[in-house]
Structure 1
Amino acid sequence: MGSVWLAVIYIGGWILSMRVFGYFWKNRKLAINDAEPWFGEHVSRNQYIALLQQTEPEATDTQLTAALLRRAMEDVNRVLAMREDKQVLANLVKQGTVGDDIWAQFTIAEKEIEAEIMAVIEEANTFKEGWGQTILQTASEMVQHERTKKLQKELAARKEEETRKQAFKEESKAVKDKKKETVTPAKAEPEKVVA
C-alpha cells in the first residue's frame, strides 16, 4: 500500500513540476515577443517613406535620393553598433550575466537590419541601375566623415578648454606673486657689529 502512495506522489510531483516549467516557459516566450526593439524608431526610413507618399508637391528625385542615402547611413550606424555589441553580449551570455532572451532579441534585431539593408539596396536600384551595389559603401564613407568631423570638433573644444585652464592658472599665479610682493616687507640688512 505504501509503494502505491509513493508512486502517486512521484507521478504527481512530475506533473506539478512540468506544469510549473510550462508556465514559466510560456511567460518567457511572451516576454521575448513583447520585448522592446533593439534600436528605437527608424526616423530616416519613416522620412523616406513619407517623401515617397507625398503628393502635394511631389518629392523630387534629388530629395528622394538624399533621403535614401540618409536612411542607408542610419543602417550603417546600426550595423556598426551591432558589431560592437555582439562580442560583448556573447561574452555576457557565456558568463550567465545576461539571459538568453536578450540574445534572442539581439538576433531578431540582426535579421531586421539585414532585411532593412536589402530593402535599401532594392530602392537604390530603382533610382539608378547598379546604385544598390555602392550605396552602402557611400553611406559608410559619409558616416566615417561625420564621425571624423565630430571628433575634430571635440578635440578643438578640449584644446580650447585646456588653453583656458592654462591661462587661468597663469593669471592666478601672477596674482598670488603680486600679493606676496606687496605683503612681504623688504628685509633690512643686518647691522655689522664692530668689536
Structure 2
Amino acid sequence: MGSVWLAIIYIGGWILSMRVFGYFWKNRKLAINDAEPWFGEHVALNQYIALLQQTEPEATETQLMAALLRRAMEDVSRVLSMREDKQVLANLVKQGTVGDDIWTQFALAEKEIEAEIMAVIEEANTFKEGWGQTILQTASEMVMHEKTKQLQKELAARKEEETRKQAVREQHKTQTKATKEKKKEAAAAPTEPEKTTA
C-alpha cells in the first residue's frame, strides 16, 4: 500500500514539474515573439512593394530596378551591421551580461535577412537573367561608396571647424598683442608737467 502512494506522489511530482516548466517555457517563447525586431522598418522594401503595386501610372522597369537595387543596398548595410554586432553580442552572452533571449532574437534576425537576400536575388533575375549573381556585389560597392562620401563630408566639416577655431585663436592673439602694445605705449608716453599758478 505504501509503495502505491509513493508511486502516485512520484508521478504527481513529475506532472507538476512538467506543467511548471511548460508554463515558463510558453511565457519565454511569447516574450521572444513579442520582442522588437532587430532592425527597424525596411523602408526600401516597402518602397519597392509600393512601386510594384502602383497602377496609375504604372512604374517603369527602370524605376523598379533602381528600387530593387536600393533594397539590396539596405540589406547589405544590415548584413555588415550584423557582422559587427555578432562578435560583441557573443562575448556579452558568454559573460552573462545579456540573456539568451537577445541571442535568439539576433539569430531570428539573421534568418530573416538571409531570406530577404534570397528574395532580392530571385527578384533581380526576373528583370535580367544573371543579375541576381551581381546585384549584391553592386549594392556592396554602392554602400562602400556612400560610406566613403559620408566620411569625406565629416572630415571636411571637421577640418572646416578646426580652421574656424584656429582663425578665432589667431584673432584673439592679435587682439591681445595689440592691447599689450597700447598699454606699453601709454606707459612709455611722457606725462605733461603740471602747470603752476603764479
TM-score, structure 1 length as denominator? 0.86
Give the aligned partner of residue 154 of structure 1: 154
TM-superposed CA distance for 1:77, in Å, is 0.3
- Alignment partners' CA distance in 2, 1:11 and 1:132: 58
Give the aligned partner of residue 137 of structure 2: 137
Give the aligned partner of residue 165 of structure 2: 165
Residue type of the partner of 1:90?
A: A
What number of residue pairs does the alignment pair up?
184
- The one-character-per-residue Cα deviations of 1:59-103 (angstroms, maximum 9, x if unpaired) are 001100000000000000000000000000000001111100000
- Alignment partners' CA distance in 1, 2:8 and 2:189: 106
Look up the SS of the partner of 1:39 in the other structure.
Answer: coil
- Alignment partners' CA distance in 2, 1:131 and 1:55: 25
- Alignment partners' CA distance in 2, 1:170 and 1:95: 51
TM-superposed CA distance for 1:11, in Å, is 8.6
Give the aligned partner of residue 188 of structure 2: 186
CA RMSD of aligned residues (A): 2.4
Percentage of matched positions with identical amino acids:
84
- The one-character-per-residue Cα deviations of 1:131-158 (angstroms, maximum 9, x if unpaired) are 0000000000000000000000000000
Unaligned runs of 5+ in 1: 1-6, 189-195
Matches within 5 A, 1:16-165: 19-165=19-165
TM-superposed CA distance for 1:23, in Å, is 3.2
TM-superposed CA distance for 1:182, in Å, is 1.3
Worse-matched range after superposition: 132-141 or 19-28: 19-28
- Alignment partners' CA distance in 2, 1:14 and 1:119: 46
TM-superposed CA distance for 1:125, in Å, is 0.2
TM-superposed CA distance for 1:163, in Å, is 0.3
TM-score, structure 2 length as denominator? 0.85
